[in-house]
Amino acid sequence: MTAPLMSLTWTDHVTGRQGFLVVDRLVRGVSSGGLRMRPGCTLDEIAGLARGMTMKEALHYDPQGRYVPLGGAKGGIDCDPRAPGAYEVLVRYLRAMRPYIESFWTTGEDLGLTQDLVDRAAAEAGLISSIQAVYPLLDDETAARRRLADAFAVEVDGIGLDALVGGCGVAESALTALDLTGVPYAGTRVAVQGLGTMGGATARFLTRAGLTVVAVADIKGTVLNPDGLDVEALLAARDAYGTVDRAALRPGDLELPGDAWLAVDAEVLVPAAVSYAVDTTNQERITARWIVEAANMPVLPEAEKQLAARGVTVLPDVVVNSGTNAWWWWTLFGDIGPDAGEAFAHTRRSMRALVKQTLSRAEADGTTPRAAAHAIVADRLPVIEERFGWYQ
Ligand SMILES: NC(=O)c1ccc[n+]([C@@H]2O[C@H](COP(=O)([O-])OP(=O)(O)OC[C@H]3O[C@@H](n4cnc5c(N)ncnc54)[C@H](O)[C@@H]3O)[C@@H](O)[C@H]2O)c1
């Protein structure tokens, strides 16, 4: 694996907290990757995520599409987003990163941050937008920016379109795997770790497809109901960080410890919170048939080997959670309009094709789906590099 193009560590002069930026590679002089804020965040973690972004961009390469891939990048701040002064740390981080954001790093929300907060802090840090580096690549910047702003204003049943498309892609990945193995949706049970942007939307789409969400975990613990949770009620009871107000639980809902989600009786597990959630120790407790990685890097490599040996299929993050990033660019570059129906249809079509391609490559190569996705990326990156180059 080649070293990232650039990686840097920032130290906040006020609090001493650290932040990171890793640009894995550039395509046409630009990279893409969200910004996370969590206590314990490290440069290594951000480097892994930046590499993952390069893969997500490459996997969605469609030679006929208007959107062509960017390079991968990621930002991170080692700070609890709920801590007093966290917002000010975010603003100072963005001020320090301003030259990079202005010229080659496009960013947005990730774990611990919402897009609204990123937008507010970016404006306070003197930026035009967190994705302004891509503007020079657009044919009609004004129309493109209006289209994206209009898309961000779309809400579906109380949740913004931007916070739904990612989960739509995760859910479609799971549904594709079920379809390929002939498992009906009805009666298929799901446990989700994280009920924030990704986990919340995934739970909604899977429920609406006819699956039963039996467990969800947030930072406060796991909520279980073997007969199925009232997902919409839980979604409506979340705070801005994706924590569910327990007053919304129904009589049959049980409160269990934080890691209980992974061992519940369910066919599908959706880790949609933190990295490294499934390790060599706790993987033994998993009885599910599929793990669908909505989060980035939730399953450690050694654990994945052990899971594969016992017939548990891990659908990898680079494929499964790539929908949000792709949707920004499909919308901005004009492959789709600012419309929920169009966005979901395009996301579903793309994710279904990508999951099928990944699983058939895995079967042909005799590898895991993750190795197959990496092989597809390895084939594609030289093609992208040849056509577009690193620098504009
Ligand atoms: N938001 C996006 O657009 C996006 C896109 C692709 C991938 N991801 C990845 O998805 C994951 C979740 O991101 P998000 O934006 O949905 O985050 P979020 O901040 O909106 O929600 C996080 C959720 O996880 C829960 N959580 C946090 N720590 C936990 C713990 N230790 N145990 C159980 N639950 C915990 C929180 O309570 C919350 O419900 C991250 O790995 C992120 O990198 C996000």
Mean pLDDT of 224-235: 98
Return the residue whose CA atom lies nearest to atom 32 of ligand 1: 219
**Position in ligand 1 atom list of the atom nearest CA 296:** 41
Task: Check if 110 has its Cβ closer than 6 Å to any atom of ligand 1.
Answer: yes
How do beta strands 290-292 and 313-315 pair?
parallel
117-146, pLDDT tens digit by residue?
A: 999 999 999 999 999 999 999 999 999 999
Burial 192-224 (b: 16+ CB within 10 A, else e): bbbbbbbbbbbbbbbbeeebbbbbbbbeebbbb
Task: Check if 278 has its Cβ closer than 6 Å to any atom of ligand 1.
Answer: no
Mean pLDDT of 356-365: 98
Q: Which amino acid is at 266?
A: A
* pLDDT reading at 2 higher than 90: no
- Would residue 362 be called left, alpha or beta, if left means φ above 0 and alpha means ψ between -120 and 50 degrees? alpha
The CA distance from 225 to 230, in Å, is 9
User: 142: CA distance to ligand 1 center in Å?
Assistant: 32
CA 280 from chain centre, in angstroms, equals 23
Cβ(161)–Cβ(343) under 8 Å? yes
**Position in ligand 1 atom list of the atom nearest CA 49:** 43
Mean pLDDT of 378-386: 96
User: 138: CA distance to ligand 1 center in Å?
Assistant: 31
For the residues of 207-265, what is the DSSP string, one character each? HHTT-EEEEEEETTEEEE-TT---HHHHHHTB-TTSPBPGGG--TT-EEE-GGGGGGSS
If one counts every other C-beta atom within 10 angstroms of the C-beta of residue 253, the result is 18
pTM of this structure: 0.96
* pLDDT reading at 231 higher than 70: yes
Task: Check if 31 has its Cβ closer than 6 Å to any atom of ligand 1.
Answer: no
CA 67 from chain centre, in angstroms, equals 19
The CA distance from 61 to 376, in Å, is 11
CA 40 from chain centre, in angstroms, equals 19
Cα-trace Rg, the chain:
20
Closest CA relative to residue 238, chosen from 325, 163, 327: 163
The CA distance from 189 to 45, in Å, is 31
pLDDT confidence of 1, banded at 50, 70, 90?
A: low
Report DSSP state, residue 140.
S
79-116, pLDDT tens digit by residue?
A: 999 999 999 999 999 999 999 999 999 999 999 999 99
For the residues of 338-350, what is the DSSP string, one character each? S-HHHHHHHHHHH
User: 275: CA distance to ligand 1 center in Å?
Assistant: 9
252-280, pLDDT tens digit by residue?
A: 999 999 999 999 999 999 999 998 999 99
Task: Check if 195 has its Cβ closer than 6 Å to any atom of ligand 1.
Answer: yes
